[in-house]
Amino acid sequence: MESIHKAIQSGAGVYYSRSHKGLWVKGATSGDTQELIDIRWDCDADALQFTVKQKGTGFCHLQTATCFGPYSGLSRLERTLQDRKASAPAKSYTARLFREPKLLQAKIMEEASELCEASSKEDIAAEAADLLYFALAKCIAADVDLAAIERNLDLKSMKTTRRKGDAKPQWAQKIGLEELPSGKATPNGLPSKETVKEAASIPKDKEDPAGLDNGRIQMRRYKTSETEPSALATLLQRPSQRSTDQIMNIVNPIIKDIQSNGDTALLKYTHKFEKATSLTSPVLNSPFPEHLMRIPPETISAIDTSFENIRRFHAAQQEPKPLQVETMPGVSCSRFSRPIERVGLYVPGGTAVLPSTALMLGVPAMVAGCKQIVLASPPRPDGTITPEIVYIAHKVGATGIVLAGGAQAIAALAYGTESVPKVDKILGPGNQFVTAAKMIVANDTSAGVGIDMPAGPSEVLVVADKSAEPAFVASDLLSQAEHGSDSQVVLITVGLGEAQVQAIEAEVHAQASALPRVDIVRGAIAHSVTLEVGSIEEAMRLSNQYAPEHLILQVERAERVVAMVENAGSVFVGAWTPESVGDYSAGVNHSLPTYGYAKQYSGVNLSSFTKHITSSTLTPDGLKTISGAVMQLAKVEELEAHRRAVSIRLEHMEKKS
Ligand SMILES: NC(=O)c1ccc[n+]([C@@H]2O[C@H](COP(=O)([O-])OP(=O)(O)OC[C@H]3O[C@@H](n4cnc5c(N)ncnc54)[C@H](O)[C@@H]3O)[C@@H](O)[C@H]2O)c1
Ligand SMILES: N[C@H](CO)Cc1c[nH]c[nH+]1
């Protein structure tokens, strides 16, 4: 008992040694210590298993990893790969794999395909071994060890709901399980839309459009007290974060094509992705014809109400006057703001057309005084743009609408084409292609373009306690799940009993099944989770760690909990504040950071459309007072011209006096 106690207390491998007749702290003399990971009973509780991380050369006194000889199999491979990563001989092939991720990627695909073709037992074993070698090399390169893989396997085995397990279309088509749908061929070698549907939903059945027979629409559920923190982190990973390389490989060539071929390339992608094959010009310039913005009066009224609330809230963010501070006598510093001259506003239009996003971007751009406002949005198959978007473009004084979506629209705004004007900043949310393209152009110094933030697939985190109404909770979760199958929604229940959690789950299933976009919802719910926690403090700690785009507080005295929010795009407080009021009309902006970027980015606001300029004004006395500090620091940096810019003036002053 004493050794177990000591082991737990010190977090190290401590045993009872019969030969020494006492406690034996492994490695106390050799330095080859053990970090204790886990202790478990065997099946009849008469033996204990210690799981440890061995440090140094080995466990055995013979300097081998185990008392049964060196590691073998996967553990040995893992150790070898880790050693090669730390320091490899000059000509090591493994080291080359670590240096050349594309080669590694190609080898994984090659070996996976050879394994598929192998038929004899020997060949299958040999090809599986090759594949495991390259797969583990990929893991070790990313510091993922076998223990992490095993934890993930264990986690998957605990899953209550499962995807149907069909292969993704591009793989099914590759080996003839499914035919390539007509019109989905890949002209110019470009992948079709389906190739990157990472978080695909369970296919909707024609006989079962609500998806009722496809299984219950339910988020996986975990009690945090019984789940390892690393497993929680995996559960809370956004689905679209898992395929960054794949997305980049699709987006980069599109951007290059727009840079080289301008309007021709832009139209080509619009014909391909939007099926707007009759479109011959990629821009609709103002003044916009009246017949292109004809909408029902009730929609005009809804837009006008929302427009005014958004205008008011953003106008209130204006700085009343420049900031002015005298840091030392005669040394005045000031800061003033100016509008960004040319802004490009992306309005998504893939799975749903979002005129509300045109409001969220266009109104603050107008309030800030941006000189040129250009919208971009995917056109409809007939080449026209939704009239609500044209009406809003007109209201905010936009000079034109680029009739294109995705990465191609972002590239056109960033670099300009024959008919698309180049802009200084691109703002607006979008899917993974849009977000990746924004990040690429923002990183290209030759583009000279800024972006607002990475605002990708919508997400929401709802914190609900006993006071929450299950129907309200479910409706808020579903309002974001219906955006796209790559959206993620998280529910944190605080101190709820089994029956109360089940009541929310029943609402989720019932409400989701009745939605027109149930197939999209099903896809989003498949990688969404419910976490059961014991206290509001724990709920808020998890929420701050996740940094959701939207945070909904359906808890008693919700206003009090706002003080505990550290990271979130926008917070919705109390039972009577559905997230959709913020999406449309309350006045707050709905263009918000996703993927956890709420830790470092704000959502769109008035300052997203302005930049700050500072100015300094010194009197002769001010320069005399500060001169010592400036000249000394210039001396330290050995920048003599800097020092002289001050000393010359001082000499000049002396001569004059
Ligand atoms: N974070 C926020 O503030 C916020 C606000 C509103 C909407 N959103 C999100 O914006 C997203 C809108 O996505 P969407 O898809 O409906 O519209 P979208 O306009 O962002 O994307 C549509 C475009 O994607 C491109 N595309 C589609 N498949 C492609 C492929 N296989 N290869 C290359 N390009 C491809 C096409 O060019 C198409 O025009 C949703 O995820 C929604 O949740 C986020
Ligand atoms: N919820 C989205 C932000 O993630 C914005 C939106 C537009 N329309 C409906 N919702």
Ligand 2 midpoint to CA 172 (Å): 33
pLDDT at position 172 is 61
For 390-393, the CB contacts below 8 A with 24+ separation are: 390/284, 390/288, 390/292, 390/293, 391/293, 391/295, 391/300, 391/303, 392/303, 392/307, 392/355, 392/358, 392/359, 392/362, 393/286, 393/288, 393/358, 393/362
Site to probe by mutation for ligand 2, drawn from 303, 345, 357, 460 as the one with most ligand atoms within 8 Å of Cβ, is 357
Contacts of residue 384, Cβ cutoff 8 Å, sequence gap at least 6: 292
CA-549 nearest atom, ligand 2:
4
Report the atom number in ligand 2 closest to the C-alpha of 480: 1
Task: Give the model confidence (pLDDT) of 387-405 as tens digits.
Answer: 999 999 999 999 999 999 9
Residue with CA closest to ligand 1 atom 10: 430
Question: Per CATH, is 246-451 categorized as 3.40.50.620?
Answer: no
Instruction: Identify which of 140, 134, 148 has the alpha carbon closest to the alpha carbon of residue 105.
Output: 134
Are the C-beta atoms of residues 516 and 486 closer than 8 Å to each other? no
Query: What confidence score (pLDDT) does residue 207 get?
Result: 52
- One DSSP character per residue, 335-391 reads EEEEE-SEEEEE---SSS--HHHHHHHHHHHHHHT-SEEEEE-PPPTTS---HHHHH
Is it true that 246-451 and 459-587 share their CATH fold? Answer: yes
- Name the closest-CA residue to atom 9, ligand 2: 583
For atom 4 of ligand 2, the residue with the nearest CA is 458
User: Closest residue (by CA) to atom 30 of ligand 1?
Assistant: 193
User: How confident is residue 161, by pLDDT bands cut at 50, 70 and 90?
Assistant: very low
Check residue 608 and report its DSSP letter.
Answer: G
CATH homologous superfamily for the domain 459-587: Nitrogenase molybdenum iron protein domain (3.40.50.1980)
d(CA 428, ligand 2 centre) in Å: 11
Residue-level pLDDT at 370: 98
Nearest to 527 by CA among 161, 223, 258, 225: 161
The CATH number that domain 2-153 falls under is 3.10.20.810
Distance CA 361, CA 592 (A): 11
Most confident range (mean pLDDT) of 66-70, 145-149, 333-337 is 333-337
Active-site residues, by number, are: 549-550
Report pLDDT digits (tens) over 92-139: 888 888 888 888 888 898 888 788 877 777 778 888 998 999 999 999
**Domain edges within the chain:** 2-153, 246-451, 459-587, 619-656
Pocket test for ligand 2, best of 459, 462, 483 (most atoms within 8 A of CB): 483
Instruction: List the single range of 195-204, 311-320, 432-441, 506-515 with lowest mean pLDDT.
Output: 195-204
CA of 579, nearest ligand number: 2
Query: What digits encode the pLDDT tens for the residues 474-500?
Result: 999 999 999 999 899 999 999 999 999
Note the ligand closest to the C-alpha atom of 243: 1
